[in-house]
Chain A
């Protein structure tokens, strides 16, 4: 008899799939310490204390968790970059800036289960010998800030933060820092400048944050969802975690869906679940014909609406093979009768507004030229050759900017031209689009 390894879990409909990140959402007072503890909260960090810092990092590595902030860097590996006993203060930062259009998963982790995040940061701090943590939350998340602040106070009063956490000998304290409306603050080095009270321009890398981050000291920064995965990995084990997902994309993830669907929202699925699953089984299907899918937040290239794409597993590799990216898992559906040039212009405008102005390719390329030419197109003043000009500009900007913001803008630009060149041409030839550029607004 041959031993067969169990089939990996790649669907949230699979009876073996049990959501964890959002499992407590919807419970009364889910955000209180009492409620969190009643569900076994803060047991994982005790397990971490019993294991010791290095085995915790090993467990994180073994789990296969990759950063959920968009770039997908292996979390355990990142944690292992922090210098060992170098005698300096180590910092931990939670990136709760969540500003990539289409992304709204961290928001409910913050408001509904703040202790899950605090426990995740405690585990990370212990593993990386960091005794101070900051949660950088975008300024607009008012309820999130209130809930996090209250949870920090509760945790401090219960001896879960402060000196000698739970008698372990480990000191850890945590503070909240509120942002003020700038997308670039989500970029990790810009975030550090912002936290230091400076203009949030990105910093040159290297040095990487693990060598020199906030206040020039060793720092590790992770996304909210990455930290929130840690207590579950410690509690149920790396093998449980990696039983979900595909070969190189392990675990569960929060996927968001917005645009014209019956039930927009956030769904917890194993990596490798298909677009069809989230769109139809969970979001109830589109409300009108769709032409494009933005798979993982506004910076990820658009994909066409067809069966092959709908059946593509949502994991880093499979979406990559289709020419796009998993990103933050923020799916946006663009309806058939919404002008694609207008939709793209909306995003170009966003990135132009958010360009920090530090480097020329982004400030001039995106902030000025790209914006002007798109504005001209949607106003009906496009000329033959404009599309070639956009592509040429894109070529000149790609990979040449200081941080990834300019490239993020090119995602929708280049992909929309590739997929919907006919719409650009029609708009240029006729001075107006064959589709509307405004959506109907619900009366009631």
Chain B
């Protein structure tokens, strides 16, 4: 059993994450209804205000809080009860982040920060919005320090060279997060805050965008890696199998650290001021980060097949049938994994240099990340919740909840198929993202998009109902389910698997290479931006 004090920290994080999920999903529902032409917002609420709330609360808050709750529970499980310093630092992180989240939400609701979650300059929010963001970032660093400290103490005490796979992955995820958030923290602290308070008059836009996207791409891996942790470590145990290869799992996480950061230009492919050679160079690095995902795909199918064969499955694909489809702890993440196939394919397209011209800033992109983060990751997080919440609350996952969870997953898949599918298609026709309902003065091209936007509204409504269902399940598992013990499923390694080389846990080496790659990919183009910078921009509040 997990220590009572540790459960409290995890529970705190998960509670905030589900509150953010509810608020963000409400905004999402309204957005689809507006774009579908079903409703008009009452005066006083703007579409872009909702969109800012949706982006911040879901992409930044729901994900980060859930990840912290999950990682803390897993670290406490695999490295033992949190020591005093890690626990206290964890709470410090929680309160800093929560102060920041509250402050940001208030300023968004006051319509003082309608700049969307990417807050591109020179749109200028209230300085308190940026101060709120700093608290969220620095608070998350506290959590990183606290997890690393726990890991360090564990190593000191046990004198082991290799840590448990889960904790290795957690440390790696936080390492990547820390390196990545240095960029956005620099932009917010050194550019946005002085500028929004009026201490300096102008801001360099291209530098702020570059620092943002230096963070923005690893951000998506920060969402994804905890889902991969569930797939690599938790799923094998749930289906009654073994981890395919400890070494390959670690190797893939090492590759994520190395290649997920020096690639931010693939979000800036269509903007001036960055030479196409540097863009192409980062596109090549972007393609490197696809390799560990290909490895993950193989590992997952291999776990399913070996487990199925051990259970006596015959034929080429007979193992599919013996998977525990009625176990929601498996079903929800599995649907998430399957959705990652089109999601990943879309990502390769987005990153393909000039091919980006077909999809950039169209609804295709919105469709894409509702498959990645809002389905693959989110469904995996729901799948984790179904055992993590009762594990923390000392209750059990009942048969009925399994069933409801499966209905929830199916609703999500159907809703997302409609919403994201329509977004992908209409995006290829050219419909822009981040745009309120519009007919562009009855332009015939825009008129063709409206039916797709209506399908989005249907999908969005189903998704919202699915959110209500998952919230009910979470509430039930936290407060109503029968008391009992629920396990934290941690897989064991296949006996025949090779010994893991200890070099995979050589932090100095990997962080060093990561820093080197970042310097190679960014130093010259960044220097060029500073050298050839145009005069900066004053702030604008166009909302």
Partners in one complex: no
Q: Which residues of B contact A (CB under 8 A)?
A: none
